[in-house]
Chains A and B, each alone.
Chain A
Amino acid sequence: MPAATSALHLVLTGDPALYTIVRLSLLVSLSAVLLAAGIGVPLGALLALTRFRGRTGAIVLLNALMGLPPVVVGLVVFMFLSRSGPLGSWGLLFTPPAMVIAQTILVTPIIAALSRQTIEDLWVEYRDELTAMSIGPVRRVTTLIWDARISLLTALLAGFGRAAAEVGAIMIVGGNIEGFTRTMTTAIALETSKGDLPLAIGLGVVLMIIVLLINALAWGARRAGERIAG
């Protein structure tokens, strides 16, 4: 298989075109996950620890949003950012920030929903003890987030896995511009359709390695967490 051999060559020799693509992919998805964590974890904590009318509906909606189709997110963000859209003046369409925005929207519900579940479970367990220790609301949230940190990290990794693997949203809002908004997934889609299999396979291999690494990391984190926290 000559395509596979050339692919391996590209990966092992550190082909600059390939690594530009890999770097941008990681940058975009990592930024999106960090932003989504900044929104999703507090949102999850809020949903877990407060009672208000419509809370159940909000939780069901959030869980449903975990399955948002990337192309739909891409389309909506596209409409907002396109020149005639409400945020058109920002000039972000077809730039990496637009891709970050789209992926953040995609990943936030995942992190928020998983955080909500994790924090609520821990709160049920801790409620009596923390109440008996007169822990106030702020300390309560920080305690729960800290003690659930391993599970929360797993939620972030799940979000990152989702972001790194999606193609629909960033394809639409990024435009797959060579050297600027081309990522692993959009490049694989394009190169495959063009018939340039070596680059597609090379990127596919790198993507697989990254996904496997994330899962290994998640597993390692859980193990370490059990050792530390029991």
Chain B
Amino acid sequence: MRGPMSDLPLSLVDVTILAGEVAILNEVSVTFTGGAPTVLIGPNGAGKTTLLRAAMGLVPATRGRIAWGGRDDAPPDKRAIMFQRPVMLRRSVADNILYALRAANAPGETLQDRTQDLLTLVGLQHLARRPARRLSGGEQQRLALARALARAPTVLFLDEPTASLDPYATKTIEDLVRAIAKLGVKVVMSTHDLGQARRIGGDIVLMHRGRVVEHTPGAQFFDEPRTQEARKFMAGELLV
């Protein structure tokens, strides 16, 4: 799936993003390469959502540089994001997916089949004709994931994709994320579920107060974290 125009490696170099006077990202340098999913963790307000939005290209860096495959003007065609609080279009479940497929210029004759496939993938096929805004929170999250996948991304950003899902749906999404990653899609996701981070993360990025505190391979992070903050965070202590 990845050609010469790949968005990888995706790198942020000394990226600062200001909201007014406050740096909500503070001199962040991090590189996402192909392979297993990268998982962002950190307390509320650490800057995970901001980092994902910046990496998607939705918010410009106030200072520093964001580059996709070495280009800082790479079009977002092959990137997709599922927001922490996804917004459903005022259409049916199936039409939300159709809309995303059309926006991604999917060929007309494939639209129906791909809509069905995506619905089945996230387990919403029985709700296809339902108004999307009437879905439960977890169902909306699954629809948002299907919509993101409709772009056939090579890099997929997921902002707390299982935050309001039941255990079964959570497992389904985790399996799905692993399957997507196996297909060569780079997944970058945030979560507050440390078990999930351990199960899915090829590498872990710990954020705190707009900074990247630690970026280590998953196995190492959980067994021998390099920083004091990581140890405290995993012990459930308040980071200061």
Contacts and interface: CB of A to CB of B under 8 A. Distances in A.
Interface of A: 125-126, 128-129, 131-135, 139, 143, 147, 227-230
B131 A132 contact: no
A135 B76 CA distance: 11
Interface in B81-115: 81, 83, 86-91, 99-100, 103-104
Given A128-B58, A134-B103, 7 more contacts: A125-B87, A129-B86, A129-B87, A139-B103, A147-B90, A229-B133, A230-B90
A230 to B, nearest CB: 3
Contacts of B99: 133, 143
A133 B90 contact: no
A135 B58 contact: no
Contacts of B100: 133
B132 A147 contact: no
Given A126-B89, A147-B91, A133 B104 contact: yes
A133 B131 contact: no
Majority SS at the chain A contact face: helix
Contacts, number: 49
A230 B86 contact: no
A227 B86 CA distance: 21
Interface in B133-184: 133-134, 147, 151
B193 interface: no
A139 to B, nearest CB: 7
Nearest to A229: B90
B93 to A, nearest CB: 10
8 contacts: A128-B83, A129-B83, A129-B86, A131-B58, A133-B99, A133-B103, A229-B133, A230-B90
Interface of B: 56, 58, 75-77, 80-81, 83, 86-91, 99-100, 103-104, 130-134, 147, 151
A3 B151 CA distance: 69
Contacts of B130: 230
A131 B79 CA distance: 12
Contacts of A125: 87
A229 to B, nearest CB: 4
Identify the interface centre among B77, B90, B103: most chain A CB within 10 Å of its CB.
Answer: B90
Given A227-B131, A230-B134, A132 B89 contact: no
B103 A147 contact: no
A129 B131 CA distance: 17
Nearest to B131: A230
A135 B100 CA distance: 9
A132 B80 contact: yes
B90 A132 contact: no
Contacts of B77: 134
